[in-house]
Structure 1
Amino acid sequence: MTSALRRLVIPALLMTALAGCGSTGPDTYELDEKHIQVDAGEEFTLSVPVDTAMGEWWYLTSPEPDPDVVRKTDKREEIEADDDAVGSGSGTDFFDFKAVAPGTTEIRLIQCPHGACVGDADGPVTPSPVPSGSPTPQKKYRATIHTFTVTVRKS
């Protein structure tokens, strides 16, 4: 190989090899992606927006996904504080899962504005009951359940 050709080929091969090594992490799915397909053994993340100024939080709710198909591995959050108001800001909650074996299951996340849910992260979180005779809360103050259907394929 001539030295001029070597100077072109070697950097190109090195860049190709490095590009293959750079892992970007698990696939991330957002609220508009309700039907998810992954391979067994694959890790994936559900990403949901959080408005901490409204006291909003997200939780995994019941019924939980089939543990023989999908297993929750972690929950993380990234919050960006609003410099203009103490205790306010927005961000993202991340729910990490691992596809265990082929099958289909549902993952249900509950979006909880302040006071709209009962329970805590260690137990089932459900919408707060509305007392009899009370007006129905405005939509932005009600809990909302978001369902993701996950199909795990053989790897």
Structure 2
Amino acid sequence: MTSALRRLALPALLMTVLAGCGLTEPDTYELGEDHIQVDEGEEFTLSVPVDTAMGEWWYVTAPEPDRDVVRSTDKREEIEADDDSVGSGSGTDSFDFKAIGAGTTKIRLIQCPHGACAGGGDAGGPVTPSPVPSGSPTPDAKYRATVHTYTVTVRKP
């Protein structure tokens, strides 16, 4: 084997070994990447920006994804504190999933500005947009809950 071929083969072999050991990072999908295709057994992450200074939070909302197709494995927050104000900052919410079986399902994430959602969090239950009281002015769009839908197709390897 020539030395040039060996130099090419070693990184490819290393990546194959790492992938087989589960040591590679899962693919990450951001807002706007709403059609996702993964292989059965693969892990993936949905990553969304969060602005805690505005009291914004994200949750998985109903109807939940088909558990025979994907399962939630973790939710992580990475917040960088603002120097000006205690308890405020911006960062990323990451929702981790594992592809369980072949099929297609939808994952719905709800973006909740301060006071825009009911339920969920420490209260438990599904997170839903909070109703606007009758006779109240329509809230500005930046203060309304928004649902972002991801269509996930899991393929057999």
1:88 Cα deviation (Å)?
Answer: 1.3
Which structure 2 residues correspond to residues 56-67 of structure 1 after superposition, within 5 A? 56-67=56-67
Task: For residue 12 of structure 1, report the CA deviation from its aligned partner.
Answer: 5.9
Cross-structure match for 2:47: 47
Q: In 2, Cα distance between the equivalents of 1:18 and 1:35?
A: 30
Q: Once structures 1 and 2 are overlaid, which stretch shifts more, 120-129 or 73-82?
A: 120-129
- Partner residue in 2 for 1:135: 137
Equivalent residue pairs, number: 151
1:40 deviates by 0.9
Structure with greater Cα Rg: 1
Given the alignment of the two structures, is residue 151 of structure 1 paired with residue 153 of structure 2, yes or no? yes
Aligned to 1:37: 37
Unaligned runs of 5+ in 2: none
Provide the secondary structure at the position in 1 that maps to 2:142. helix
By how many angstroms is 1:24 displaced?
Answer: 3.6
CA distance in 1, matches of 2:36, 2:12: 29
Aligned equivalents of 2:100, 2:15: Cα separation in 1? 28
Per the normalisation by structure 1, the TM-score is 0.88
Report which stretch shifted further, 17-26 or 54-63.
17-26
Deviating beyond 2 angstroms after TM superposition, the runs of 4 or more aligned structure 1 residues are 8-24
**Counterparts in 2 of 1:36 and 1:11: CA distance versus 1, 3 Å:** closer
- Give the distance between the partners of 1:37 and 1:16, measured in 2 at CA: 23
Identity of aligned residues (%): 74
Per-residue CA shift, 1:95-118, capped at 9, x if unaligned? 001111111110000000000000
1:123 maps to amino acid = G
2:112 aligned residue: 112
Letter in 1 for 2:131: P
Find the aligned partners of 1:107 and 1:154 in 2 and give their Cα distance: 19
Q: Write the distance in 1 (CA, Å) between the matches of 2:148 and 2:8.
A: 45
The question of 1:124 aligning with 2:126 is answered yes
List alignment gaps of at least 5 residues for structure 1: none
- Structure 1 equivalent of residue 85 of structure 2: 85
What amino acid sits opposite 1:39 in the alignment?
Answer: D
Query: Structure 1 residues 31, 40: closer, same or farther in 2, change over 3 A?
Result: same
Output the TM-score relative to the length of structure 2: 0.87
